[in-house]
Amino acid sequence: MKSKISKSAQELPQLKFKKISKTEAQEKIKDFFSHIKHKSPEEIKKIKKLAMSHNIKLGDKRKLFCKKCLSAYGKDSSISIKNGFITILCGKCDFNNKWKFKEIDLDIIHQETGCC
Ligand SMILES: [Zn+2]
């Protein structure tokens, strides 16, 4: 007879985030996004979680990586602007990321994708 071992204690969600203040989290996120090009999708996933756990909105920073595969856009991604919408085709998964175009978007994208 197999006896059931209660796993309930192990199954409790474990919060592994170190307790850092919201300000520290914001700093960390800011620093992270200034090096976004060198980050892996796993790292982007983690930073998103961190932001969520501190109720920090990523805002325009969300436009620096693919919504679908969470890769930072690189030279293999292509950008087009049409009818007031900006579209970035992810070079990794071919997903079209689309949002309403604001002038500020161009600054962000040019800085981060390093067009020159
Ligand atoms: Zn992608």
Q: What is the pLDDT of residues 51-106, one digit of tens each?
A: 999 999 999 899 999 999 999 998 899 999 999 999 999 999 999 999 998 877 77
Residue 8 resides in a domain: no
Compute the distance from residue 8 Cα to the ligand 1 centre, in Å.
36
Compute the distance from residue 25 Cα to the ligand 1 centre, in Å.
25
Contact 58, 80 (CB under 8 A): no
Tell me the pairing of strands 85-89 and 96-100.
antiparallel
Residue 11 resides in a domain: no
Q: Structurally, how many domains does the chain consist of?
A: 1
Mean pLDDT across the chain, nearest whole number?
A: 84
55 burial type by CB count under 10 A (0-12 exposed, 13-18 middle, 19+ buried):
exposed
Q: Which two tokens stand for residue 32?
A: 């992270």
Compute the distance from residue 92 Cα to the ligand 1 centre, in Å.
5
Eight-state DSSP code of residue 43: H
Residue 39 resides in a domain: yes
Residue range of the domain that includes 23? 18-113
Residue 7 resides in a domain: no
Please tell me the pTM assigned to this model: 0.73
Q: Which residues pair with 72 in a beta bridge?
A: 65
